[in-house]
Structure 1
């Protein structure tokens, strides 16, 4: 069982929120999703690393979720804090950090039926798998 919390990825001034209780946010027993975190993803992961989160803690960076041009990047806190993200778009972004994200299957890896009404090139095998499952 995982606990998940949602936290804003930037303040009105554009940087990390200054009023976050980082000791509580960096709770190893929970996973955190930062919304609107594209510009601060590196700072967020650096802060998690500085607060003692293990370097191999999973991170998922997702842009344009639910859209035809969705983009997902899986890495770890240590890797992300060492380099810039290979994403240059300006779409909506969420950053997930924590053990729950180490167990995220892709649509192709999911063993149960998936609703494929929204088809994109990324979900091509989904249509084939669900038609065979019927």
Structure 2
């Protein structure tokens, strides 16, 4: 049995998945249909918003590197204001909201304002990218651990406090979010800490969108390609490790 629609003055922090509307959860689609206002990320727009009802006010609050973006403080304020006005609010976030989605900052703002909320989990782009490449993220004996890391700090550069031993572990599947710009520098550090440059690596851009691009390579070759390519035109993530060998990339 599905849970009832939330009362007015309630916020649903909804994960939109990687962009393919067919990867929305049933609960995410239902909350969109019930919403009176939807504050959405750039990557959670497009066909996903078709699930919003005709009564919903749609407000873009997305953040994209190198483009004008709403400050997080402004987004928090908008969420709180609409909920305090007695509206059913959906904060639509790309991927899974709990993975590099600034979810905690919005939760804190809601808690401080005394506004009830729920979190609706979704498909992370890491899982969607692995599925697109036809690969698992883990395997008994070969890759018993998977790690999600960010390739960018608040300035957009490679973070300084990297656990190099963990990231250079050749028996782990590593997924780097927001790392196209910094991956060449990351690859240098990985080589210095013992990870072979021939380690399989995959680049997935615009996962779940019509412009999806999948590239199979190695850590060293992918770093060279991204260095020569310059700033990325599409959002993407990088997977490397023993399982990063696509079975049906395309």
Question: What TM-score do the two structures reach when normalised by structure 1?
Answer: 0.70
Q: State the shift of 1:88 in Å.
A: 6.0
- Larger Cα Rg: Structure 1 or Structure 2? 2
For the residue of structure 2 that corresponds to 1:18, the secondary structure is coil
Residue 90 (str. 1) matches residue 198 (str. 2): no
CA contact 1:46–1:77 (8 Å) conserved in 2: no
CA distance in 1, matches of 2:182, 2:147: 17
The answer for the alignment partner of 1:21 in structure 2 is 163
Aligned residues: 107
CA contact 1:63–1:93 (8 Å) conserved in 2: yes
Indicate the structure whose relative CO is greater, using CA pairs within 8 Å and at least 6 residues apart: 1
The answer for the alignment partner of 1:37 in structure 2 is 179
The answer for the alignment partner of 2:207 in structure 1 is 65
Q: Which of 179, 190, 195 is the aligned partner of 1:53?
A: 195
Q: State the shift of 1:86 in Å.
A: 4.6
CA distance in 1, matches of 2:248, 2:230: 19
Q: How large is the RMSD of aligned CA atoms in angstroms?
A: 2.0
Runs of 4 or more consecutive aligned structure 1 residues displaced over 4 Å after TM superposition: 85-89
Question: What TM-score do the two structures reach when normalised by structure 2?
Answer: 0.39
The answer for the alignment partner of 1:112 in structure 2 is none
